[in-house]
Amino acid sequence: MSKSSKNKKQSETDSCREFIKPAHLLKADAWQFEYRQKSNPKTSNLDLLTYGTYRIAPGATSDELFHRGEEALLFCLAGEVSVEVDGQTHELSHYDTLYVPLATPYRIANHAGEISQIALCRAPAENQHAVFYSSWEHARQNEERIRHLDGKDVFLMFDVSESADRLMAGYTIYEPHTRAWPPHNHTDQEEIYIFSQGRGSMEVYADEKHKTFVHSMETFDAATIPLLNYHPVFSQDEPLHFIWCLAGKRYWIGDKHQEFMDASVDDLTT
């Protein structure tokens, strides 16, 4: 090969090198995006609800996510994320909530500098409804979204005023040394509680003589609540926050039963 041909080939190689991208070493414990399933109807004695969490590393973006036959709610528990769904991008930060309709693809990106964590609750649906974004900053200042009880406040993040087949959800915040009263159960709603801040305790039982579930609850612990189980919560020395997510008939107990709001009964079945 002539000297000019060698020089030409070297020039072509140098030119191509500018467009060659470097490789990445992926160690065994490396990760960018992960889903952890916490429970589903086969493992939790529920008929409808599945619960899991997403973790998204800084700078990472998920593949397209999709729940065939289910509607879903996303709750931002830590960090900040962008969620692309139905041609729009929604920015979620602390306690913001997003409803994803039946069989609607979405993608989650973390552009912040810390790990983000999202709780995901989903349930079977037959109809497709509109995407709904709920800002925690707005909800916590909107009295139409707040129900004030003795020692606690309930924030309706995804209410009956929003369209869905089965899901409803919100946050409850207990003052220190507060308990749920009156204890209540549901005949037509199953539920999950996801504790998002503080430490407390919880009982789940069919009757007072058979309390098979009595546990301390810490941040990111959760409890599934099958039909007809009472489920009182008790806070300790600090405020206690938890997500409640319902699947079934769409109503909030305090809007349906005044006895729940004024605590005029010792227990309540809805």
Identify the residue with better confidence: 14 or 57: 57
pLDDT of residue 253: 93
pLDDT of residue 210: 86
Q: Which domain holds residue 225?
A: 136-263
Q: Answer whether residue 118 shows pLDDT above 80.
A: yes
| CATH code for position 222 | 2.60.120.10
Cβ contacts of residue 243 below 8 Å, gap of 6+?
75, 119, 169, 170, 171, 192, 193, 194, 196
Average pLDDT in the 54-63 region?
97
Answer yes or no: do 207 and 248 share one domain.
yes
Residue 238 lies in a domain: yes
Q: Which of 106, 134, 162 is the last residue of a domain?
A: 134
pLDDT band per the 50, 70, 90 thresholds, residue 8: low
pLDDT of residue 212: 86
What stretches of the chain show up as alpha helix (H) in DSSP?
3-17, 41-44, 136-139, 253-256, 258-262
Answer yes or no: do 71 and 147 share one domain.
no
Q: Answer whether residue 133 shows pLDDT above 90.
A: yes
Q: What is the mean pLDDT of the chain?
A: 93
**What's the DSSP call for residue 143?**
G
Residue 20 lies in a domain: no
Instruction: List, for residues 12-37, the tens digit of each pLDDT value.
Output: 666 667 788 899 899 999 999 999 99
